[in-house]
């Protein structure tokens, strides 16, 4: 049986168009234009690209966006002052501080300083906690994007065995929570990580594999059962002299050999990546409408 490619780029485009229509309607009724601010520290290539794409997505959705840049040597105090300013800026509906931050800055301290009502990344413990117990909140963009994608393709996950590779705060942990929740994934969830002894066996038994470990081509054909649904969150820049940019964005799944076994699979690039940004736009729209918090 032919596998079906899950087109994240096209799905994200369609959703952003719907958001743009809603923004037009809000504006026509005299409402406020949603405004996302992004804080970028240093010049990491990946982070630069992500933030640039977030700014472009804001334009596509009809949002206002503000980019605030700091050099690598910014102090924690300076960053905290910036967060405080954004918390108190009534025009800013939501904002993100792009991660990772330089080693001399305590990432968790910065996240904790963000007003949870503007935390459109869903990283603040209040949003994480509310997500876990199923209360309205901002949900981390990558897991939300994956749920949206599964939903968009009418892929039923209820009762299925879902294996998540990776336990990061941004992807693995929230993904596991959402996949097991009754009115969301409703699946039987197993989380595997770098110290899991039975990782291959767990994968082989999985109906759904969500790979978020950041190891290029980690998931091979011997780890995937026939008919599985495979979601690839990996986006490692692997040096490639034949590529225009000098690298090739490489997923956690060895696509060429795994795809023929799958019922559905996401490509890299063009799968989960565009959906992550699209989810940030959804969260920003919700923030603008004060949908979760007054």
- Interface ranges with ligand GUN (CB under 6 A): 96-99, 121, 141, 170
Burial, 292: exposed, middle or buried (Cβ in 10 Å; 0-12, 13-18, 19+)? middle
Residue 174 near residue 139 (C-beta atoms within 8 A): yes
Which CB atom, from 23 or from 97, has the smaller least distance to ligand GUN? Answer: 97
- Which residue in 121, 207, 232, 252 is the catalytic one? 121
- Which residue in 7, 16, 54, 252 is the catalytic one? 54
Separation CA 260–CA 248 (nearest Å)? 22
Residue 47 makes CB contacts below 8 A (sequence gap 6+) with 40, 98, 99, 100
Separation CA 216–CA 162 (nearest Å)? 21
Catalytic site includes residue 4: no
Which CB atom, from 97 or from 147, has the smaller least distance to ligand GUN? Answer: 97
Separation CA 202–CA 180 (nearest Å)? 16
3-state secondary structure of 102: coil
Separation CA 260–CA 227 (nearest Å)? 9
- Which residue in 7, 16, 93, 98 is the catalytic one? 98
Which CB atom, from 127 or from 190, has the smaller least distance to ligand GUN? Answer: 127
Separation CA 165–CA 233 (nearest Å)? 10
Separation CA 294–CA 290 (nearest Å)? 6
Q: What is the CA radius of gyration of the chain?
A: 19
- Work out how close the CB of 99 gets to ligand GUN at its nearest, in angstroms, rounded to a whole number: 4
- Work out how close the CB of 30 gets to ligand GUN at its nearest, in angstroms, rounded to a whole number: 32
Position closest to ligand GUN via CB: 99
Which CB atom, from 108 or from 220, has the smaller least distance to ligand GUN? Answer: 108
Catalytic site includes residue 98: yes
Catalytic site includes residue 32: no
Residue 264 makes CB contacts below 8 A (sequence gap 6+) with 3, 4, 5, 6, 153, 155, 229, 230
Residue 283 near residue 122 (C-beta atoms within 8 A): yes
Separation CA 43–CA 293 (nearest Å)? 33
Catalytic annotation, residues:
54, 98, 121
């Amino acid at each position: 049986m032919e596998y079906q490619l899950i087109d994240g780029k096209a799905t994200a485009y369609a959703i952003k168009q719907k958001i743009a229509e809603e923004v037009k309607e809000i504006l026509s009724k005299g409402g406020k234009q949603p405004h996302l601010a992004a804080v970028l520290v240093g010049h990491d290539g990946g982070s630069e690209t992500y933030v640039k794409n977030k700014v472009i997505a804001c334009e596509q959705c009809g949002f206002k966006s503000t980019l605030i840049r700091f050099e690598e040597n910014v102090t924690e105090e300076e960053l905290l002052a910036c967060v405080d300013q954004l918390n108190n800026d009534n025009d800013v509906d939501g904002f993100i501080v792009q991660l990772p931050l330089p080693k001399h800055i305590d990432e968790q301290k910065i996240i904790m300083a963000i007003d949870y009502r503007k935390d459109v990344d869903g990283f603040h413990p209040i949003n994480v906690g509310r997500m876990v117990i199923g209360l309205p909140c901002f949900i981390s963009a990558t897991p939300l994007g994956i749920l949206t994608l599964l939903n968009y393709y009418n892929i039923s996950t209820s009762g299925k065995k879902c294996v998540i590779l990776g336990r990061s705060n941004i992807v693995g942990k929230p993904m596991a929570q959402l996949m097991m929740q009754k009115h969301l994934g409703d699946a039987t969830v197993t989380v595997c990580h770098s110290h899991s002894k039975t990782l291959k066996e767990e994968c082989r038994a999985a109906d759904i594999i969500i790979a978020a470990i950041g190891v290029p081509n980690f998931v091979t054909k011997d780890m995937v059962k026939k008919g599985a649904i495979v979601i690839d969150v990996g986006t490692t820049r692997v040096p490639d002299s034949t590529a225009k940019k000098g690298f090739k964005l490489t997923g956690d799944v060895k696509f060429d050999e795994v795809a023929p076994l799958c019922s559905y699979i996401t490509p890299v690039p063009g799968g989960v990546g565009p959906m992550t940004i699209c989810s940030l736009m959804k969260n920003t729209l919700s923030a603008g409408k004060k949908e979760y918090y007054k």
